[in-house]
A and B are shown apart, each in its own frame.
Chain A
């Protein structure tokens, strides 16, 4: 993993749907599969609950990367939620890209409840990518920066 001089650790917010990905993350834990502590998970009922506002807010508050995980297409607990999520995120990510938030800072991944290994692998990979990109300064609102 590429770590730059001042030991930069990214802040990463992961939105996980309750039915597949959150359970997948739990399974990664049960199987003691390591991934960096930089990832913090927010549980949502479905990936379609993830409002683009939440992602903008995260970047504004200083997140360096945001990943959204849901059930595989066709396997959504609510039948079609992840399709909505996929469309919304495609639009949002291209807009963020246009605004100068690198495409690699955002990601959508489908992780089922049985894919603990995939969850851990995805997080390792994502953290590595975001670490290489360095700090996100483009959208960060300096007024929100913590005092430390």
Chain B
């Protein structure tokens, strides 16, 4: 018989305000096996933990029930406390009377009644708990970073700095991500390329870092410390070991009219191309969909002009398998598609551009060599209207409900830089709110208004109508002056909302990492574990977790790297001891469990068993590899003979919980 102690936490007034904690503690005294029951202000405090430890010793407790917050919050705390007092840490059960009781009910009677039932359920479970010892598993000292933007680059550099090997997988032909397309960065107006490209070069030169550019993650298996990842190196049709990046092929290729992704389709590139001058790795890539040689076997100019002999039209996709101890998701973002926002005439006029396109139009490496010219006629625009929150903070269902966070600041930057370079240009910014929390952010915005004379108007643009003479008629409301405005603009710039990259969803599925309804990765705890995924060994870096600007992305990237380094510096990890266990005497060797196991943790072997008549029979029975089993319990239900059970969540324990609830 267990000797169980029940500890009921007030959690200040969080629990005590709606649950009569004294009544719960009193009611528990009558439960079978309970020898001690008490309530206390804060069980998780040092004094509270001491109370638990002292009682374990004084009362010779064998099991502990803590009625407190969610086990997701403090289960580990109380398990540690119990272990310190000398009992097995898995002899502790938590009754969640805060998140699942006091916080959702208002009536004290009902909440107390429910809390008593929840406590009783935990007591019933702990009656059947058995001591468990966690096993150990080795750690592969190599990390994988998925995504080679500034987030992935910073994470990789920091991990490599600590002395661990790290691989970057980037689906584009070069690392660098969105930051390569940006001209200047707020609020300091540093040139993005000047601060990014040295980091890209560092990555390429660091011997601890291996870059798989133009590659994608195909599959992920395994678990924390021991992931096996298949990476698909897409065929570039160029031998990267031979290509010197001289660029002759990209000049001679006769196929000239392929839209250039780097400049968002505002100019053209060839079928063989290097995305931009500072690309890393700086090697050419053949775009198979547009190459005449690959499509119909007629051309071969690039192979003729390549002095290094790097062109290989027969190259195939290659699958590489690697082992990793930790994986960082840094999959980044994209601006949303604007097809649902046709009132802004994005599809009707070339002079209506997104902010990222505007960024390219002002960049010296962009399609206009940094001259701000209208895409339609190449003339200098004299009136520019910026529209904020296009698709952000939109509850209509067309766009995103969240704030994209970066638009207020980059629009202030665009407006300021336009006024600085072209003082004869009138700049209007239509906004819902201007949000500038951040170091030197508000000062920057005020400079745009006060020093550069940008017209900030609170109100939304209702319609942009392209006119025959090339002007764009902008109809908008000024909410402060309470009047309708009609502005004849030469260009309209839309601050499109940002959304997670489309590939993030499939990567999350491969990593079994959870996502929110907007497809941003979920963090293990929104405040206290912001760079970890709830899935052990998976970490989050950059916008894939939520909208953020470059400084925040870099901070998060370094934070994720610190977490990875912490994990990789361990030689062994303790495994979850709540794993499946097969009772060999009951197992009939049917293989049902083996078929449902997602981890291949179950194997069969022939074993000798003494029969009642003293003969020896050989039977085929299942056994579980505890280092591989993750404890999902699929096998326990598949097992027809009831031989398979899950430690810590055994059939008997769950049945006892059901009984206690239904009593």
> Shortest beta-carbon distance, B478 to chain A, in Å?
36
Partner among B99, B111, B631 whose Cβ is within 8 Å of the Cβ of A26: B99
Total A-B residue contacts, Cβ distance less than 8 Å? 156
Chain A, Cβ-Cβ closest to B509: A74
Whether B191 sits at the interface, judged by CB under 8 Å, is no
Residues of B within 8 A of A51 (CB): 636-637, 651, 654
A29-B99, A49-B637 as given contacts; A37 in contact with B105, CB under 8 Å = yes
Residues of B within 8 A of A77 (CB): 512, 514, 534-535, 632
Query: Among the listed stretches B114-122, B350-358, B604-612, which one makes contact with chain A, having 4 or more residues with CB under 8 Å of it?
Result: B114-122
Partner among A35, A48, A113, A146 whose Cβ is within 8 Å of the Cβ of B534: A113
Residues of A within 8 A of B121 (CB): 40, 42
- Interchain CA distance A43-B633 in the complex, whole Å: 13
Residues of B within 8 A of A8 (CB): none
Pair B99/A30 contact, Cβ less than 8 Å: yes
Contact code string A39-51 (vs B, CB < 8 Å = 1, else 0): 0111111101111
Whether B450 sits at the interface, judged by CB under 8 Å, is no
Interface size on B, residues (CB 8 A): 51
Interface residues on A, range: 35 or more
Pair B654/A48 contact, Cβ less than 8 Å: no
Residues of B within 8 A of A19 (CB): 514, 534
Pair A26/B100 contact, Cβ less than 8 Å: yes
Contact code string A65-103 (vs B, CB < 8 Å = 1, else 0): 000000100111111110010001000000000000000
Of A30, A33, A50, chain B has the most CB atoms within 10 Å of the CB of A30
Pair A75/B104 contact, Cβ less than 8 Å: no
Whether B110 sits at the interface, judged by CB under 8 Å, is yes
- Interchain CA distance A11-B121 in the complex, whole Å: 14
Pair B658/A57 contact, Cβ less than 8 Å: yes
A11-B661, A63-B661 as given contacts; A78 in contact with B598, CB under 8 Å = yes
Whether A115 sits at the interface, judged by CB under 8 Å, is yes
Of B71, B535, B630, B634, chain A has the most CB atoms within 10 Å of the CB of B634
- Interchain CA distance A29-B106 in the complex, whole Å: 12
Residues of B within 8 A of A20 (CB): 514
- Interchain CA distance A32-B99 in the complex, whole Å: 8
- Interchain CA distance A43-B649 in the complex, whole Å: 9
Query: Among the listed stretches B40-48, B253-261, B515-523, which one makes contact with chain A, having 4 or more residues with CB under 8 Å of it?
Result: B515-523
Whether B130 sits at the interface, judged by CB under 8 Å, is no
- Interchain CA distance A51-B98 in the complex, whole Å: 27
- Interchain CA distance A75-B103 in the complex, whole Å: 28
Q: Please list 24 pairs of residues, one from A and one from B, whose beta carbons are closer than 8 Å in the complex, sorted by A's number.
A: A11-B661, A23-B534, A25-B99, A25-B100, A29-B101, A29-B104, A30-B99, A37-B105, A37-B110, A40-B114, A40-B117, A41-B96, A41-B100, A42-B661, A45-B631, A51-B654, A58-B661, A63-B662, A75-B508, A77-B632, A79-B598, A84-B637, A120-B104, A144-B659
Contacts A13-B661, A74-B509, A78-B598 known; 20 new A-B pairs at CB < 8 A: A23-B72, A28-B104, A29-B98, A29-B101, A34-B106, A37-B110, A40-B121, A41-B100, A42-B658, A44-B654, A45-B632, A49-B637, A58-B658, A61-B658, A75-B508, A75-B515, A76-B512, A78-B630, A78-B634, A81-B634
7 A-B pairs with the lowest CB-CB distances in the bound complex, closest first: A49-B633, A29-B99, A61-B662, A78-B632, A114-B516, A29-B103, A48-B634
